[in-house]
Structure 1
Amino acid sequence: MTKTSTATLTSIEVEGRRMQERQLGAVDVGAETLRRLRSATSDSASLLHDVPGLNLNAAGGVSSLPSIRGLADDRLRIKIDGMDLIASCPNHMNPPLSYVDPSNVGVVRAFAGISPVSVGGDSIGGTISVETLAPEFAAPGEDHSSEGELGTFYRSNNGAFGGNASASYATPTTSIRYDGSWSQADNYTAGGDFKTDVATGRPGHTLPLDEVGSTAYETRNHTLGMAFKNGGNLFDVELGYQDMPEQLYPNQRMDLLDNEQKRINLGWSGAFSGGGLKAQLYHEQVEHVMDFGPDKRFWYGGLSQPPAAPEVGTPCAPLGFLTCAAGMPMFSEGDTTGASLKARFDLSPADLVRTGVEYQRYRLDDFWTASGGAMWPGTFLNINSGERDRMAFYAERETQIDARWLASAGVRVERVDTDAGDVEGYATTMPSPGNQIAEAAAFNARDRERTDHNVDLTALARYRHSDGLDIELAAARKVRSPNLYERYAWSSWPMAAVMNNLVGDGNGYVGDPDLEAETAYKFSATFDWHAKDGSWEFSATPHYSRVEDYIDAVAFDSTGFQVGQFNVLQYDNQSARLFGIDLAGKMVLADDAGGTWGLNGLVNYTDGENRDTGDGLYNIMPLNARFTLTHQHGGWDNALEWVLVDNKDEGSAVRNEIRTGGYGLVHLRASHRWKRIRLDFGVENLFDKFYFLPTAGAYLGQGTTMQINAISWGTAVPGMGRSIYAGVTISF
């Protein structure tokens, strides 16, 4: 982890083809950290685990959701190469970071908690900005340059393997770069003595009792970038394509069985005397398919050693003791177009203004075709012609007041328009399962167009108290409008409601068109003690947030709500508060002929409460810590990591949130670099510890998923057991 400089006013640095601005509140993930973790993970969100206050809510194998101080998913602004991308799925299986492979991540910057208005709106939790590897230009005087890279990896626990390739060609004014990657994995196994209650089969074999069902995945990504320089102008275009044939979900009732994304990103930036301009235009198309994966399609009764399951596609009929679920194909089609124009004006060497306008147009169709049984004869329109459009303007001023004070203040004004078309269920005649016809008619009869006028205000200041202490203070008002599923998911029929679940808790959810935008009032202070020579540093960041109109959940039918099982809930505006503290530090233990030894540490604590009900907020990570002993010598970079997580003995009662026990994990990592070759290897969960993931929700990875309580409630998703990994990268 590297931190932004505290010595001078924000500076402009050109990294590849993108202009990076150093701003108050930013934390950068170091390039060496990014390279070291590529072989250990295919989930780009996991590259952020060294950011104070940030944890991961586990989901699919490449789609974990970052959580900053208890706020996750759409409550964060996550940008990929400047693009605001939106998850087009009723289970949010395709979040923005799932479109970037770790091998193609070049720059990661996080604003934990309070972010300047210039780096994100329509969010209350913070901003994460990820830039892919940027093409580079040939050095002045060179006719041209070219380079390439090939890499591969293997992980033992789930048989994960894959590779990446990149190639670039550049002249002093033109650069072309291609990056491609592919990875796949089978289900992983838990540590220790995990035993599942339901024995199910994947095609061709029986699911072992220590195997965590629905955790396999396969994904392929391609990016082609071109950039051109002309004087002080920089033009770039990026084409991206993802083909994800499979990503199974242990905490959802459905699985991703196809996801195709196409995107184009156009940019121009130019410098002028006293500032600079940057314009961007992007477009994304997503076609997303869900259905029962093999671990959810078949289940058994009365057999301790069931036979192997047939291949997916076998007609759905009883096969002895084997029973199969009819398929339930679900389709989501998302279309996003965005544009922005940003300007920076240097009023003086110690004073600058950032301003800009942004526009985003989002369209969503979510429909489930007929597939037999109660899912017949029509097509279920879950979100029909969904619309969510944003228009924003912001202005921000940053001033070096004197040698000790650096301050920034900004305002952002947004208009968010949402709407959805008429809907219908599977049923076309009475009687209809789950009262689909009546609920669709009631939804269609009401006005569904909504407009939110949102205002963000931020104020940040850094005070250099002494050579050994910097203090950063921040306060903000942040606003987020509901997403389309929170407003327009309409059916309370349990079979349909459980398919609308953004948090993996096993419950069903119904939207509310009258939801208000969330408004958060946030305060934090960072005390940064450090040695002049950089041999040690320690920081403490207490933080507090109060959220009015927080979108929580209530029982849709209180008479049918039961403790200790899954229920149908409805989104509802309530009031919430979150507070906690983040601690981070590092120190050099020794620096001699044997190498450099160091110790890094992180401790995060957040408490969240619904102020209306006194209930805990869902998916708050318990007290957790990470301590890393590091060693560098010659080309070696090694680490011994100890992760500690406390018991989760509080949570959301309305969601029947599952409690989890505390645990400790030990990881070993080692890397060696030669001139053209890099080798990374290590062991995750060295002692094969069994544990449950505190923020992964309910385990739904195997067995029938058709009815809301068909899988017994009460099991959390187990974490991965011991896994040995190795990766090699060759540059040329």
Structure 2
Amino acid sequence: MSRITMATALPSRRALACALSLVLFPLAAVAADEETSKDDARTLDRVVVTASPVQPLTFETDPKLPRQPLPASDGADYLKTIPGFTTLRNGGTNGDPVLRGMFGSRLNLLSNDGSMPGACPARMDNPLSYVAPETFDRLIVVKGPQTVLWGPGASAGTVRFTRDTPRFDELGARVQGSLLGGSFGRNDQSLDATVGTPRVYTRLTANRSESGDYDDGNGDVVPSKWRKWNTDVALGWTPDADTVLEVTAGTGDGIARYAGRAMDGSQFKRESLGLRFEKNFRGGGLRTLQVSLFHNGVDHVMDNYTLRDPNPMSAMPMPMAADVERRTGGGRMAAEWGWDDVSLTAGMDTQRSRHRQRSSMGDAYKDMPWEDDAELRNTGVFTEGRWTVAVGQRLIAGARLDRAQTTDLRVAAGVMGMPNPTFGQTRRETLRAGFVRYEHDISGSGFGWYAGLGHTERMPDYWEMFSADMGPAGAMNSFTGIAPEMTTQLDIGAQYRSERVNAWVSTYAGRIDDYILFSYMPGGMMGMMSMASNEDARIHGAEAGVEFRPAKDWTLGGSVAWAWGENTSDGTPLPQMTPLEGRFNVAWDNGRWSFGALLRAVARQDRVVIDQGNVVGRDLGPSSGFATFSLNGGYRFNDRVQLTAGVDNVLDRAYNEHLNLAGSADFGYPADPVRINEPGRSAWLRLNFSY
């Protein structure tokens, strides 16, 4: 691999020119406008490095805020600001989110409260690959099986990227945006513009993100370039302050090169449609009625010739392409009632997803007929209530019942393409979920604690039923051989808030019956073959964080996250568990200038089971610990314009994450698995503006 050059180590000329050109306008505006007070300047917050819970087990943040490390290119990347989250890395973008070592559909991933599962059988385009964080208003995360409102499964947690309803008292317009330039050709633009009256509004959100291959701390090039864009439009009718009817439409596309895969993504086409009605009621028991419909389609193309040259020594020595498509539609209806001490939400949701594919040598796939391989459906009913037992004491509980079914439409299946013995068969499962949580705030002390017990049953997802080459011993395949996964988990935690200190701790312990595990073994010319099986497992872990304000304008903070798992059926560690991680930061902010530093330290992980994991990743062996140091600073010209800059991995360390793919031989990586290194020292400059 080649060494980095001084020219590529600096931000690209085009990116910096784009960012700096708009710096001239706010400077002129500052000279013309009155001096902005410090209090007004604080409407633009400092760089986000670690998020804190807003209530027990719930984290909420504004994804438009600048973030360190380098601002996120996809939804999974932004989640790493929340303790307990990491990503399964495969290069520059589109890593798969992992919470407490749990992966895939154990995380319920929603955008605008609709589901958009990817189409790739190996999750090259996982659901958050299609999420541009800056185009959303809020990121809301509930950890563990502690809500039943947003869909089935969700044993690890629920993640929602949402947009708020804009309201106007008179004819007006609002504009927010950002420009970013950085090392390795990083070049982002984002725009959020709304025009409205008290009765109607139109909102446009758009972004573009681009980067070249990055260089690791050794100066070696890591194939990782990407280019992606998204555009969404919303038309809303607000006849009064309590009603909204909104229609949305969106599209997007992109490319991505992957150092750890045999193919790259040459198309990430997205099409989205949505309809939402919400009505608030005044007086009486009924408070809110919500109805929403969505349709999301993704058309994803993978090949080994657009962004790389075919490797004549690989299993695909000639140009090959695969086109996969998944269309998912559904809806949700929920009503909330409230009385003096009790509130209750009840409703139902449903969705249907259909997957199809085609492949060929080179671009001939465009003329090939589509082949349907799977249809998945789910309908559920839910209720969740909150009872204020006494002042500062709350009882929250919920229950959910789902009916799930999956139909196998594959005519042929398996590595050799043999006739599929389960063609046309349909699996049907009834799934149950519920939780109860007690919360107690001790009056006048700033201290509160909670304890919750949750249970959820999860239907095997598309990847677990259709991507594995084999099912458990004695099963025809994983479609019939894999049982639903059942998780029972206890969550206990506490929070403390005062004028100078915010602190929190969250612990959990769970049992997973029929945990779905992937095992990999050599497959000759086909590379690695996979087998899915059910095992029993135990998990436990903890996260904690503190924020201390020792003096005016100063903040010290830190968080730690630890996850542990064991395969109790085999007496071995649970694979793909995240290592112990700590983040420690210091920030100074006087309302005009700001400065921050972040130290991220990750421990060695030696509790592994080589060649076991999930549909994307497997344990490659023990990983070394590492630490990285980053700096950021910013200046607020006024309450509408903010310039921030940062340097990540200041010491130019060569390191890699434990959850990682092995480098592909197509790019010169050795046959023995080698993890992909993370970026070396990189700088970025970002301009935020609003009107």
Report the TM-score, using the length of structure 2 for normalisation: 0.84
Checking the alignment, whether the CA contact within 8 Å between 1:37 and 1:47 is kept in structure 2 is no
Kindly state the Cα deviation for residue 422 of structure 1 after the two structures are TM-superposed.
3.3
C-alpha change, 1:259 and 1:30, in structure 2 (3 Å) is: closer
Q: Is the 8 Å Cα contact of residues 295 and 701 (structure 1) preserved in structure 2?
A: no
Counterpart for residue 144 of structure 2: 113
Residue type of the alignment partner of 2:600: V
Cα root mean square deviation, aligned = 3.0
Which ranges of structure 1 fall in alignment gaps of 5 or more residues? 7-23, 195-209, 302-315, 317-322, 426-433, 498-509, 705-709
In structure 1, the residue matched to 2:565 is 608
Change in 2 beyond 3 A, CA 1:148/1:47: same
Residue range with higher mean Cα deviation, 465-474 or 387-396 = 465-474
Q: Is the 8 A contact 2:585 2:598 kept in 1?
A: yes
The residue number in structure 2 matching 1:584 is 545
Q: 1:338 aligns with which of 312, 330, 334?
A: 330
Instruction: State whether structure 2 residue 430 is matched by structure 1 residue 453.
Output: yes
| Cα drift, residue 723 of structure 1 | 0.3
Percent sequence identity over aligned pairs: 20
Task: State the one-letter code of the partner of 2:166.
Answer: E
Distance 1:345 1:543 in 2: 31
Residues 249 and 701 in structure 1, CA contact (< 8 A), matched pair in contact too:
no
Residue 289 (structure 2) aligns with:
277
Alignment of 1:326 with 2:289, yes or no, is no
- Corresponding residue SS for 2:480: coil
> 2:452: which partner in 1?
474
State the partner residue of 1:26: 58
- Spell out, residue by residue over 1:280-318, the C-alpha distance to the aligned partner (whole angstroms, 9 max, x if none): 0001111110011566525599xxxxxxxxxxxxxx9xx
Cα deviation digits, residues 211-243 of structure 1 (max 9, x gap): 112x11000100111211123321111111111
CA distance in 1, matches of 2:411, 2:234: 40
Q: Distance in 1 between matches of 2:373 and 2:221?
A: 40
Q: What secondary structure is seen at the aligned counterpart in 2 of 1:250?
A: coil
What SS class does the counterpart of residue 118 from structure 1 fall into? Answer: coil
Distance 1:114 1:528 in 2: 20
- Counterpart of 2:485 in structure 1 is 518
Give the partner amino acid of 1:179.
T
CA, structure 1 residues 43+701, in 2 after alignment: closer, same or farther (shift >3 Å)? farther
Match of 1:356 in 2: 347
Change (3 A) 1:105 1:639: farther
After alignment, is 680-689 or 271-280 more displaced? 271-280
- Which residue is 1:545 aligned to? 510
Deviation readout 1:322-372 (Å, 9 max, x if unpaired): x993111111111111111011011x2220111110000000013322569
- Residues 25 and 114, structure 1, Cα contact 8 Å, conserved in 2: no
**1:660–1:716 CA contact under 8 A, matched in 2:** no
Distance 1:687 1:300 in 2: 38
Work out whether residues 512 and 570 of structure 1, in 8 Å CA contact, stay in contact via their aligned partners in 2.
Answer: no
Counterpart AA for 1:418: T
Cα distance in 2 between the residues matched to 1:444 and 1:561: 22
Alignment of 1:564-583 (within 5 A): 567-583=528-544
**Partners of 1:154 and 1:160 within 8 A in 2:** yes
Of residues 658, 663, 680 in structure 1, which corresponds to 2:621?
Answer: 658
Is 1:647 paired with 2:647? Answer: no
Q: Distance in 1 between matches of 2:316 and 2:446?
A: 66
Could you say what secondary structure the match of 2:683 adopts? Answer: strand
TM-superposed deviation, 1:39: 6.4
CA contact (8 A) 2:318 2:361 kept: no
Q: Counterpart of 1:386? A: 374
Distance in 2 (CA, whole Å) between partners of 1:334 and 1:324 is 25
Return the alpha-carbon distance in structure 1 between the equivalents of residues 481 and 335 of structure 2. 36
Shift of 1:161: 0.8
- How many equivalent pairs are there? 624
Map 1:36-435; keep pairs closer than 5 Å: 36=67, 40-59=71-90, 61-132=92-163, 134=164, 136-139=166-169, 142=170, 144-156=171-183, 158-191=184-217, 193=218, 210-213=220-223, 215-231=224-240, 232-244=242-254, 246-272=255-281, 273=283, 274=285, 275-293=287-305, 296-298=308-310, 325-346=317-338, 348-370=339-361, 384-424=372-412
Q: 1:294 to 1:529 in 2, by over 3 A?
A: same
AA at the equivalent of 1:659: P
Determine whether 1:485 maps to 2:463.
Answer: yes
- The unaligned stretches of length 5 or more in structure 2 are 1-49, 472-476, 613-618
Q: CA deviation at 1:477?
A: 0.5
- The whole-number CA distance in structure 1 between the counterparts of 2:369 and 2:578 is 36
CA deviation vs aligned residue, 1:559-614 (integer Å, no higher than 9, x gap): x689xx964221111111111111111110211xxxx1111111011111111112
Q: Secondary structure at the match of 2:222?
A: coil
SS of 1:230's equivalent in the other structure is coil
Cα deviation, residue 637, structure 1: 3.1
Q: Give the counterpart letter for 2:534 in structure 1.
A: N
Give the Å deviation of 1:3.
5.6
Q: Distance in 2 between matches of 1:566 and 1:659?
A: 22
Q: How many Å separate the matches in 2 of 1:627 and 1:611?
A: 34
Distance in 2 between residues matched to 1:219 and 1:44, nearest whole Å: 13
Question: How far apart are residue 84 of structure 1 and its match?
Answer: 1.7
Distance 1:572 1:98, change over 3 A: same
State the distance in 2 between where 1:73 and 1:123 align. Answer: 10
Aligned partners of 1:446 and 1:103: how far apart in 2? 43
Secondary structure of residue in 2 paired with 1:590? coil
1:219–1:38: structure 2 CA closer, same or farther, 3 Å change rule? farther
